[in-house]
Amino acid sequence: MTRAQLSVYMFGLYLISGVALPFLIIPHFALGMFGISAGDGMWVRFVGVLAGILGAFYIAAVLTRTDIMLGWTVPARYATATFLCTMVALGKVGLALLIFAALDALTASITWIAIKADAEEKAAA
């Protein structure tokens, strides 16, 4: 497994275990930690399903060596971080969501650096 594949694989696991499962199983607790209401719990469970599917696609891309998708995840994660920061700046959500924004930006950067390093290593071989 290349460094880029490993970074996307780990991010896929994070989406499934850190976002999807808590949103599906304990939505009120998961969002309550960030001062967000889960309402009737349906919308957050729907987001949990989507996060789980996205995480599964990331893992499937790695396992099937669909390496072109690895690069596609980078701008998507930066866009997510930008959206979260914008919502915080507009006062729509609490500052705690900056943790998720930072995580998305950091992991996108790690993947981007890994893609470049893997390409340089391949070119040198």
State pLDDT tens for residues 27-78.
999 888 877 877 887 899 999 999 999 999 999 999 999 999 999 999 999 9
The pTM (predicted TM-score) of the whole model is 0.90
User: Hey, what are 11's tokens?
Assistant: 């991010």
Q: How confident is the model at residue 110 (pLDDT cuts 50, 70, 90)?
A: very high
- The C-alpha angle 20, 39, 46, rounded to 5 degrees, equals 30
CA neighbours within 13 Å on the CB side: how many for 55? 18
Instruction: Give the C-alpha separation, 43 to 117, whole Å.
Output: 39
65-103 pLDDT tens trace = 999 999 999 999 999 999 999 999 999 888 888 999 999
Q: Work out the end-to-end distance of the chain between its first and last CA atoms, rounded to an integer number of angstroms.
A: 17
- The Cα–Cα gap between 37 and 26 comes to 12
Cα-Cα-Cα-Cα torsion 10, 8, 13, 54, nearest 10 degrees, comes to 170
Query: Structural domain boundaries of the chain?
Result: 3-124
pLDDT score for 33: 83
